[in-house]
Amino acid sequence: MSIILGLESSCDETAAALVASDRRIIAHALAGQAESHAPFGGVVPEIAARAHVDRLMPLVEQVLSESGLGLADVDAIAATAGPGLIGGVMVGLVTGKALAHAADKPLIAVNHLEGHALSPRLADPDLAFPYLLLLVSGGHCQLLAVDGVARYRRLATTIDDAAGEAFDKSAKLLGLPYPGGPELERLAREGDAAAVPLPRPLLGSVEPHFSFAGLKSAVARAVASGEHRPADIAASFQAAIVDCLIDRTRRALHAAGPVTALVVAGGVAANGPVRAALQALADEAGLAFVAPPGWLCTDNAAMIAWAGAERFAAGLTDPLDVAARPRWPLDPSAEVVRGAGVKA
Ligand code: KG4
Ligand code: ZN
C-alpha cells in the first residue's frame, strides 16, 4: 500500500489531497476562487496564480495535520504539470518539486486530463480498462478510449468551445453569476426545454467531434430577441447540449471497439440531465455507467493523487527538472482538429 500527496492548481481551484493506493481518500482540501474571478466573468490567470501561491501550502499542511501524517509517511508527490493556465500550473509543480526534494520522495508529473480520466477508478473499484470516457469540463470536451494507465486514444474533441465553456458563456448571456454551469442547471429546472428552437451542431456527423460555438450564438440571439423567458432558454440550451453529447458519445461507442463501461468525468459530469441521459445511453448499449460523485468530477486534488497512485504503481515517476506544459494532449498521436485551438 502506498500513500500519494496530490496537488492541483491548473485553473481556479487550489487543492491538496492524500490518497492511498487502496482507494482510501485519507484527506482532501480545496479552496475555490470563484468570488475573486466573479467580477470579471471568468478566470483571470494572474489572480489565479497569486491565489495558488497564497493557498497551496496551507492546504498541504491541512491535509497532513488532519490525517496525522508527515511528509515522511508519503510515498510520492503528484502535482498537475499541465495542461492549464501556466502560472498556476507552475505554482503547483514547483511546490511539488520542492516537497519531493525536501522529503526525498519521488515526483509524479500528472496530466490534469489523466486525473479526470482515471478519477472514475478511484470512485469505483470494479471499473476495468478499457472504457469509453466522455471528458466534459470547462476547458475540454473529448471522447477517449482509456485502454490503461498512460494509454489513451482520443476519438473526438471539440472544434471550438468546450461543453462547460458553452454552459458558462450561455449562463453569462442569461445574466447568471460565474461559474455559470450549476446556476444554469438550476434555472433550467423552471423552464420548458421545447420552448426555444436551438441548433444541435454536428449532430449526426460521422466523426464524433463536438462544436458548441453556434449553439452559444443562438442563445445570444434568443436572449437579445426578448421573446423568451430566461428559464426556457436555459432549459432549451441544456437539452441541446445533452442531445449533442449523447449523439457524439453513441457514435464514439462504435468507434472505440470493445469497452467495459461508459464513463463520464469533468465538471459538466456534475450536471443531472447529462448524467441521466448518459445512463440511458449506457443501458441502451448494455454497458455499465460510471460517474464519479460531483465533487470528484470538478477539479480537485484527490484525482491528481489517484492518477499519481496509478502511475506510481506502474513505475512511472518523473525527474525534478520536468517541465510545466500549458498544452499537453493525452493522446499525442491524435490529429490536430481544425479549430480545436489551444486546449485539445
Ligand atoms: O473540471 P472542471 O472543474 O474544470 C476544468 O478543468 O475545466 O469543470 C468546470 C466546468 C465549468 O465550465 C462549470 O460551469 C461546469 O464544469 N459545471 C457544470 C456543472 N457543474 C460544473 N456545468 C453544467 N452543470 C453543472 N451542474
Ligand atoms: Zn479539470
Q: Are domains 3-117+296-343 and 129-291 of this chain identical in fold?
A: yes
Q: Give pLDDT, residue 33.
A: 81
Question: At 156, which helix (H) or strand (E)?
Answer: strand 151-156
Task: List Cβ neighbours of 213 (8 Å cut-off, separation of 6 or more).
Answer: 160, 161, 201
* Cα distance between residue 151 and residue 288, in whole Å: 21
Count of CB atoms within 10 A of residue 70's CB? 10
- The alpha carbon of 114 and the centre of ligand 2 are apart by a number of angstroms equal to 10
- Tell whether ligand 1 has an atom less than 6 A from the beta carbon of residue 33: no
For residue 130, the one-letter residue type is P
User: Residue 183: CB within 6 Å of ligand 1?
Assistant: no
| pLDDT at site 83 | 94
> In b/e form, how buried is each residue of 221-239, taking b as 16+ CB within 10 angstroms?
ebbeeeebebbbbbbbbbb
Site to probe by mutation for ligand 1, drawn from 136, 167, 264 as the one with most ligand atoms within 8 Å of Cβ, is: 167
pTM given for the model:
0.92
Give the pLDDT confidence of 68-127 residue by residue, as tens digits: 999 999 999 999 999 999 999 999 999 999 999 999 999 999 999 999 999 999 999 999
Contact of 70 with 64, CB cutoff 8 Å:
yes
- How far is residue 319's CA from residue 169's CA, in Å, rounded to a whole number? 39
On the CB side of 118, CA atoms within 13 Å amount to 25
Q: Is 164 in the pocket of ligand 1 (CB under 6 A)?
A: yes
> What's the 32 CA to ligand 2 centre distance in angstroms?
13
Could you tell me the distance, in angstroms and rounded to a whole number, from the CA of residue 118 to the centre of ligand 1?
17
Q: Is 292 in the pocket of ligand 1 (CB under 6 A)?
A: no
Integer angstrom CA distances of residue 255 from 143, 152, 205, 259, 329: 10, 14, 13, 11, 20
**Rounded alpha-carbon distances, angstroms, from residue 275 to 91, 158, 231, 269, 291:** 33, 19, 20, 6, 8
Ligand 1 atom at shortest distance from the alpha carbon of 164: 12
Q: pLDDT below 70 — which residues of the chain?
A: 338-344
> Which atom of ligand 1 is nearest to 168's Cα?
14
> From CA 26, how far away is CA 267, in angstroms rounded?
22
Residue whose CA lies nearest to ligand 1 atom number 22: 181
Q: Quote the pLDDT of residue 339.
A: 58
201 pocket-lining for ligand 1 (C-beta < 6 Å): no
Is the CB–ligand 1 distance for residue 80 below 6 Å?
Answer: no
The predicted pLDDT at position 189 comes to: 98
What does the domain layout of the chain look like in residue ranges? 3-117+296-343, 129-291
Domain 129-291: give its CATH superfamily: ATPase, nucleotide binding domain (3.30.420.40)
Is residue 54 a contact partner of residue 198, using CB atoms and an 8 Å limit?
A: no
The ligand 1 atom nearest the CA atom of 12: 4
Q: State the pLDDT at residue 194.
A: 98
Ligand 1 contacts CB of residue 180 (under 6 A): yes
Q: How far is the CA of 140 from the centre of ligand 2 (A)?
A: 8
Ligand 1 mean position, distance from CA 151 (Å): 25
Decide: residue 121, CB within 10 A, 0-12 exposed, 13-18 middle, 19+ buried. Answer: buried
Verify whether ligand 1 is closer than 6 Å to residue 179 (CB atom).
yes
* Ion ligand 2: residues, Cβ under 5 Å: 137, 299
pLDDT at 336: 73
Ligand 1 binding pocket mutation candidate from 298, 299, 304, 327 (most atoms within 8 A of CB): 298
CATH top class, domain 3-117+296-343: alpha beta
φ, ψ for residue 343 (rounded to 5)? -100, -15
Which pLDDT does position 342 carry in this prediction?
A: 42
What local confidence, expressed as pLDDT, does residue 95 receive? Answer: 98
Q: Indicate if ligand 1 lies below 6 Å from the C-beta of 296.
A: no
Distance 298 CA to ligand 2 centre (A): 6
| Closest alpha carbon to 7 in 85, 94, 114 | 94
Q: CB of 270 closer than 6 A to ligand 1? A: yes
pLDDT in tens, 311-332: 999 999 999 999 999 999 999 8
Contact assessment for residue 329 and residue 323, using Cβ atoms and an 8 Å cutoff: no
